[in-house]
Amino acid sequence: MKIYNLKHCIDWLGERIPVNLQDLKALTNEPVPNHLKHWWYALGGTPAILFTIQIVTGIFLLFYYVPTPAEAYASVQNITYEIQFGWYIRSVHKWASELMVVTVILHMSRVYFTGAYRKPREINWMIGVVILFLTLGLGFTGYSLIYDQLSYWAAVVGTKIAESTPWIGPLAADFIRGGPEITGNTLTRLYVFHVVVFPLLLAGLVGVHIIFVRLHGVTEFETDDDKRQKHKTFPLFPNHVLTEGIIAILILYMLTIMAIMFPAGLGEQANPLVTPEHIKPEWYFYASFRWLKITNVYIGVLGQIAFVGIIILWPFIDRVMENKFPKAEMSVWIGILGFSFYLALTVWEAMV
């Protein structure tokens, strides 16, 4: 009787999948800079890990969630209080979403303040900006699916703000709502955006983002000490992959602690006839919410559209400023002022 060992299995697969392993190894073994001394350079992989965790936990939630106004709240209630470990899956999904927003913002801040968006990485910066807004879109749609009072009225306010956008606002709001008002069509559309459209777009853009990083290489931070000695590198596979695996385990451990200490809650069921006294979005929309309060809806929306345009086109705006003021480091000061303004508005709204 012939016994098939591991070598036989590899040979069998090799005949049926004719891939040159040496070429594959060379493709995946590009040296990666040693960023242990500058840990903020390793923030790029963390959102991808959190996104994967969200996909896995989201699939489990899909088995029990019912996207209809009559059953959405009850299904979330069932997941939270009745399904075994449902509270844990939902809490990990929630906190992974929160941390993904944080890590994407931190990663983009690192790219910004180290000038890694400059030539030839302008396109990858713009892709990263779109990834940020898709992440925020996932947060908004996921929050709205709970269908409790706060999430329902947050969706009402969000679509009203979208409706105030010049020219395309009413059309965009009607498309999101599925009509002039929040109805069952709205919940269905938010559900489709949350579980199909945004994840597919995000996965595709993350893939393109990684390809651009591979094409241009990983940016390095050089200190005077680094310049005096040869840079240390290590292979992408298996060294870097194993490092990311360890980070993934640590992130899952941290999410578990957060899920146990701060489990996802559930408010009162949505009631279209009763407006809550205080309607608040998720914390990452606090600055936007406060900006709308201190201005008016029209100016507030136009201001945010202008901000989106500036941040997307920033590499080209920065090049113009660098040509006119080569030693002023204006991008750093503008970044500090912009981040401080965002933080001040967020804290202001949180304290109200």
pLDDT tens digits for range 28-80: 566 666 555 555 556 778 999 999 999 999 999 999 999 998 899 999 999 99
Q: Tell me: the pLDDT tens digits for 264-313?
A: 989 999 988 888 877 788 899 999 999 988 998 788 888 999 999 999 99
Structure tokens at 231: 């840079």
How high is the pLDDT of residue 349? 92
- C-alpha to C-alpha distance for 148 and 269, rounded to whole angstroms: 4
Closest CA to 140 of 288, 325, 249: 288
Q: Which whole number is the average pLDDT over 106-130?
A: 92
Sketch the domain layout of the chain as residue ranges: 6-281, 285-352
Mean pLDDT of the chain: 85
Q: Is the pLDDT of residue 226 over 90?
A: no
**Per-residue exposure over 148-173, b if at least 16 CB sit within 10 Å of its own CB, e if not:** bbbbbbbbbebbebbbbbeeebeeeb
Structure tokens at 95: 């906190």
How high is the pLDDT of residue 1? 45
How high is the pLDDT of residue 62? 95
pLDDT classification of 228: cutoffs 50, 70, 90: very low
- C-alpha to C-alpha distance for 75 and 145, rounded to whole angstroms: 11
Closest CA to 86 of 230, 209, 266: 266
CA-to-CA separations, 224 to 136, 220, 255, 306, 345, in angstroms, rounded: 38, 13, 38, 39, 38
Note the residue count of the chain: 352
Q: Tell me: the pLDDT tens digits for 244-273?
A: 788 899 999 999 999 999 999 899 999 888
Q: Tell me: the pLDDT tens digits for 158-217?
A: 888 888 888 888 898 899 888 888 888 899 999 999 999 999 999 999 999 988 887 776
List CB contacts of 328: < 8 A, sequence separation 6 or more. 321
Q: Do 169 and 162 form a contact (C-beta atoms < 8 A)?
A: yes
How high is the pLDDT of residue 116? 87
pTM score, two decimals?
Answer: 0.86
What is the topology classification, in CATH, of domain 6-281? Cytochrome Bc1 Complex; Chain C (1.20.810)
Of 321 and 329, the structure prediction assigns the larger pLDDT to: 321
